[in-house]
Structure 1
Amino acid sequence: MSGTPFLPVILGLAILNGIFSPFLVFTARLILLHLAPALLFLGPVTVAFFASLLAATAALVLAGVPAALFERVTGRRQTDAASAAVWLVSLGVISFPALRQAGALLF
């Protein structure tokens, strides 16, 4: 845990990406049609929650790929501050549309 000082920021950015994702409708449709059609009976709030959770998790995993490649190329054995910074920057790039939409709603 001491090697990843950016972890709370990374998780917060992933949560913001899940909440304000412009692809939330697409993600909800994917969940309803293919992954869990039974969620439709639980209501639209549950579907929106799981769509947001899926978007946040997908962004978190997708942003981890460049960080993992960076660790592999540089020969690191553990995640350190440099790897976490690569992860944070990658997540920032992926989350830019969601952050732009959140900024439009707030201002």
Structure 2
Amino acid sequence: MPDHFDNITDWLLAQSLRDEPIADTVKEMAARLVGCGIAISRISIGRSILHPVIGVIEMRWTRDSGQVTTRCHPRSYANIVEQMENPLIDLIKSNRDRLYSDLTDPDEVAL
């Protein structure tokens, strides 16, 4: 399995230097992960952006559709997300760069 992840990492790093649409990169990354036998049903990537009206851009890939949808949210949405109970928000606010969870422990797995 490490070889698969190394290959995906190398591809993703090379992809970051190309001028490819991010939706295509997300779709291909999903295909590569599924091809490695990883049982994922969705990938969701969100990012705040510097724009006077749009505050957050979100891309979501689902295994059922095999497609990436992109949505833009207003600045007010970014404020709501920051106040949600979310492990990634905790990670950002604590200035840590890693989050570890025991995926066999039901208390640590998001439903």
Instruction: Please state which structure has a larger fraction of its residues in helix.
Output: 1
Which of the pair is proportionally richer in strand?
A: 2
Tell me: higher relative CO, structure 1 or 2? Use CA pairs within 8 A at least 6 residues apart.
1
TM-score grouping bracket, smaller chain normalisation: under 0.3
